[in-house]
Structures are given as structure tokens and as C-alpha cells.
């Protein structure tokens, strides 16, 4: 029996909130990843199940809508469920609820995952898994997260070197690290007065320990585009983000 | 009624473990901080109690002994309690237990905190709090964490810039960020074959967003010294660490 949605409770810790005591987006991405893996595990399609078949889930795209930000010490409920597939994507949705009011989620998200063959590093078709994989016919966000088109050139913000603490168990840079780098681009004055309301991210390529990454972004009133590339291969985008803010 | 030790359970998440699926030291520091603050809050000496009096607890020194490293997905029990004071230090100890065997802690730690006046940024004497503050006469590690003396000059490893995601609610670089920077110095081959068994850290000064920090370290067989300074004020050490490893 696999009851869906899968539910986890999180009580927000000091390291999961920002200077304003509110949930960081990178911490939200960590929570999504933790619950997604725990849910997949319960359903029989988790990390260990897939690794033993030479396969891995790799997060490709995600769209997040945030109506409010939970606070330090607050307990939130995170629901997640696999829904349908769309071409090579397995879609998984998330809803985050404040403990004090469960009538509406404060955060909604949809994510698109590829099933990667660890030997060839290429995506596999999902037909074989699809029939066996339980899912829920329910949308946190209906549309499949889009492919972003960034402006051709954007101002360089920073160059960072991938450190071991940015890596995950696949030995490549973790998705939350890219989100933290982009979150850090937002100027402090804007960060303190406006909050990210919608965020779409595309994880396009891998980076590894020691790689030098360029972080570029462009602000246009309430909208920001960001891009992270490998400094040695500037034509290859590893990560892109589009976000809008509101007061 | 304040039952001591204060206890929290943690089920290790993907972002809390390293490439080898084992608990990161910086995540351990985050867990210590979370439980310390939660414990202080229950005792009436927490973040909000102190802020309203213009005071704050600031972590000054910590010693950690790790006999084994918990794994991804494992649930661990963290016990913490205030013990005695030592000059200007309020001492707080920690013991981390594996859920499968609670006869001996897998991690033991002792920490020394200063009570800082937020206006003058200087430490306050503890007499006024001491009589009112509940404590437990029990040692995870008996000795007060020592003041480290680092070699005068060490090879430069890296220069990093403090980003917003390195800050905590006090708007300065969080203690776990310094630990992550030092943890990242350990060469990969050593990291995969030897584990940190003992770590002592001193938090000496503050750094803020945009500051450029120099990270220096020196390896001597199973021992490593590390130091982090503000690049503009090389004579001022912000953080130092001494650690020993074993297979």
C-alpha cells in the first residue's frame, strides 16, 4: 500500500532561514529533494532501487510559486506525489502547507525528472517504469515546467569554484547549490523588500569539484534572469533561472 | 519543569551527507546550533529572550570527537545540556547517538559560548544569569575547549567572498560556513580514506557580506591546522581549526 501524497513535516532550523528569518529557496530545494527521494524509495523507485539497475533520477526542470515564506521555528507540512509523464519527463509535484492554516498551500511546485542511464549519461524512455509506478492525478501546478530562453549575454556577477561541500552523492554539483548561487545575486536592498514569487529553473549540465563557474544575471524591474556556465566552455550553459518578485 | 538533557531526533537528509553518504561536519554544526537554540529557548535563555535584553549567545570555541559517522537516512538522537561556566564562557555539551545502539555516543562535543552585549559587541559577565540558568553536572568532554595556537604562516588554499547564504540571523558569517570551508580543504584522496576524528575550532572574529576571506591550511600526516582571515586585515584571524584524522 502506497498512500499518496507522501508527507513529511519540517520544523525550520536556523541554517534553513535567511537573515530575515525566512525560509531560503535553497533550503526549500533541499526539502523537496529529501521528500522526493523518500517518496520514491517508498514506491520502490528510490536511489538504491535505481542505482542497482544502473539508473538515476536527475532533476531537469522545476517551477515554484511562493505565496508566503515560512519562518524560523515554524513547522510546515510538505506533500509530494508523482503525477503523469510528459515525453522523457517524469513529473512530480509539491505542496507546502503552514501548520496553522491547511486550507491553501503557501508554496506550490512542479518538477520534471529524467531517468538517466549511469553508463551512457543519457536519458532512458520511461515506458518500462510507467506502468509499475504509482501516481496521483492531481496538479500543484498544471503545466510542465518550461525550457527557459535566456538573453544571449548578461553581465557577469561572480566566478565561483565548485567545492566538495557543493557536491551530492552523485559526485556532481547539487541542484540546491545552483539555486543558492542565483539567490545570492539578488541585491540586498531588493532582497529585504521584495520576495521571489515565482521561480523557474533548468538544470542542463553537470559540474564537478574544482570547476570554475561563471554566474551571470540581469535584473529588469521585478524580473531576473540568471545563468551559470563552466568558465572553460562558455557556450555550454549548466543552469538557468528566471524569477519574478513582489512585495 | 526543564528536563535535561534536551533531546532532538534527526533523520539525515541528502544535503546533510557528503559524497560518501556520511554526515558532513558542517551539517553536524548546524544540528548542534539548532538543538542548542531550541534547548536555550525552553530554558528561558533563547534567541528571543536575549535579543529583548540586548544580548546574544555567540559560539566561541568547540571541540568535537567523532568515533563514527552516521549515514544518509539514519535517524540519530542528539542530546544537549548547559553545564558549568568557566570564566566568561557558558559551557554546553552534546552527545549524538545512533538509533541502533544507544550504549555509547558516536559523537561527543563541548562548546564554549560568550554572552555578547549587542550594543558594545563585548562579552558580559555571566553572574547574573548563572544562578537562574538550569544546568546538568555531566561532561560529554570534560575539558573546556582550548585556545588554538596556529603556525605563524601557512600556505594559502583559497580566497572566498562571503555571500548572503553564508550569513545567519545576526547578519554575520555563520559558524557552520567556516567549518565547511575548512572541511573543503582536505584533499579528496585523504577525505575518502581517512575521517576526522577530533576537531577543535575557535571563532575569533566576525565577517560580513562581501568580505574577501583567505583560507590557509597545513597538513602534517594525520593532523591539519587551518585558519581563515579577512584578506584586508591579514593580522586578524577570524577562525582557526585543528583536526586529526584516522582511518
Q: Which residues on A lie below 8 Å from B26 (Cβ)? A: 165
Spell out the residues 6+ positions from residue A186 whose beta carbon is closer than 8 angstroms to its own: A196, A224, A245, B164
Question: Using only C-alpha atoms, what is the Rg of chain B?
Answer: 18
Residue-wise DSSP of A122-142: -BPPSHHHHTTS------SS-
Note the pLDDT tens digit of each residue in B70-102: 999 999 999 999 999 999 999 999 999 998 889
Cα separation, B180 vs B194, whole angstroms: 17
Say if residue B182 is in the same domain as residue B226: yes
Say if residue A101 is in the same domain as residue A212: no
DSSP state of A152: S
Q: Under DSSP, is residue A189 helix (H, G, I), strand (E, B) or coil?
A: helix
**What are the two backbone dihedrals, phi and then psi, of residue B69, each rounded to the nearest 5 degrees?**
-110, 120
Average pLDDT over residues B21-38: 97
Cα separation, A88 vs A245, whole angstroms: 31
How large is the ipTM? 0.95
Lowest mean pLDDT among A187-196, A210-219, B106-115, B215-224: A187-196
Instruction: Pick the residue from chain A with its C-alpha nearest to B30.
Output: A15
Residue at A140 is within a domain = no
In chain B, what percentage of residues exceed pLDDT 70? 99
* Residue A196 contacts residue A243 (beta carbons within 8 Å): yes
Total count of domains within chain B:
2
Domain span at residue A229 reads 156-246
Note the pLDDT tens digit of each residue in A12-56: 999 999 999 999 999 999 999 999 999 999 999 999 999 999 999
Strand order in the sheet with B156-161: B6-11, B75-86, B89-98, B107-117, B55-66, B195-203, B233-246, B223-230, B212-220, B156-161
Q: Which residues on B lie below 8 Å from A209 (Cβ)? A: 188
Domain end: A88, A112, A130, which one?
A130
Q: What is the overall mean pLDDT for chain A?
A: 94
Residue at B141 is within a domain = no
Residues of chain A with pLDDT under 70: 1
Q: Which residues on A lie below 8 Å from B165 (Cβ)? A: 18, 24, 26, 180, 183-184
Say if residue A126 is in the same domain as residue A12: yes
Residue at A183 is within a domain = yes
Residue-wise DSSP of B166-214: GB-TTSSB-HHHHHHHHHTTS-HHHHHH-EEEEEEEEE-----TT-EEE
Q: Identify the pLDDT of residue B1.
A: 54
Here the CATH number for the domain that contains residue A190 is 3.10.129.10
Say if residue A48 is in the same domain as residue A164: no
Task: Classify residue A203 as left (phi > 0), alpha (psi -120 to 50) or beta.
Answer: beta
Say if residue B231 is in the same domain as residue B195: yes
Average pLDDT over residues B132-161: 92
The distance from CA B110 to its chain's CA centroid, rounded to whole angstroms, is: 9
Spell out the residues 6+ positions from residue A122 whose beta carbon is closer than 8 angstroms to its own: A116
Residue at A63 is within a domain = yes
Q: How confident is the model at residue B234 (pLDDT cuts 50, 70, 90)?
A: confident
Q: Which residues on A lie below 8 Å from B185 (Cβ)? A: none
Instruction: Pick the residue from chain B with its C-alpha nearest to A171.
Output: B19
Q: What share of chain A is helix, strand, coil (3-state, %, to 5)?
A: 20, 45, 40
* Residue A196 contacts residue A244 (beta carbons within 8 Å): yes
Cα separation, B24 vs A169, whole angstroms: 12
Q: How many CB pairs under 8 A join A and B?
A: 82
Say if residue B80 is in the same domain as residue B169: no
Spell out the residues 6+ positions from residue B162 whose beta carbon is closer than 8 angstroms to its own: B173, B177, B207, B208, B209, B210, B211, B213
Residue at B148 is within a domain = no
Rounded to a whole number of angstroms, the distance from the CA of A36 to the nearest CA of chain B is: 11
Amino acid at each position: 500500500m502506497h498512500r499518496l501524497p507522501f508527507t513529511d513535516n519540517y520544523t525550520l532550523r536556523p541554517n534553513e532561514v535567511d537573515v530575515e528569518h525566512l525560509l531560503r529557496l535553497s533550503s526549500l530545494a533541499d526539502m523537496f529533494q529529501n521528500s522526493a527521494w523518500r517518496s520514491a524509495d517508498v514506491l520502490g523507485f528510490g536511489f538504491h532501487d535505481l542505482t542497482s539497475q544502473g539508473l538515476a533520477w536527475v532533476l531537469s526542470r522545476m517551477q515554484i510559486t511562493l505565496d508566503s515564506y515560512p519562518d524560523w521555528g515554524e513547522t510546515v507540512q510538505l506533500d509530494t506525489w508523482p503525477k503523469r509523464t510528459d515525453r522523457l519527463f517524469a513529473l512530480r509535484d509539491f505542496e507546502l502547507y503552514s501548520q496553522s492554516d491547511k486550507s491553501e498551500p503557501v508554496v506550490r511546485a512542479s518538477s520534471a525528472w529524467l531517468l538517466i542511464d549511469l553508463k551512457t549519461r543519457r536519458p532512458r524512455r520511461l515506458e518500462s517504469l510507467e506502468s509499475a509506478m504509482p501516481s496521483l492525478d492531481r496538479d500543484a501546478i498544471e503545466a510542465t515546467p518550461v525550457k527557459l530562453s535566456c538573453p544571449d549575454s548578461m553581465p557577469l556577477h561572480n566566478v565561483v569554484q565548485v567545492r566538495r561541500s557543493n557536491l551530492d552523492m552523485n559526485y556532481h554539483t547539487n541542484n540546491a547549490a545552483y539555486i543558492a548561487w542565483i539567490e545570492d545575486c539578488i541585491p540586498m536592498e531588493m532582497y529585504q523588500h521584495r520576495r521571489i514569487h515565482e521561480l523557474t529553473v533548468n538544470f542542463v549540465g553537470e559540474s564537478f569539484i574544482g570547476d570554475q563557474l561563471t554566474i551571470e544575471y540581469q535584473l529588469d524591474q521585478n524580473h531576473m534572469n540568471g545563468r551559470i556556465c563552466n568558465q572553460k566552455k562558455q557556450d555550454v550553459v549548466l543552469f538557468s533561472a528566471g524569477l519574478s518578485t513582489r512585495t
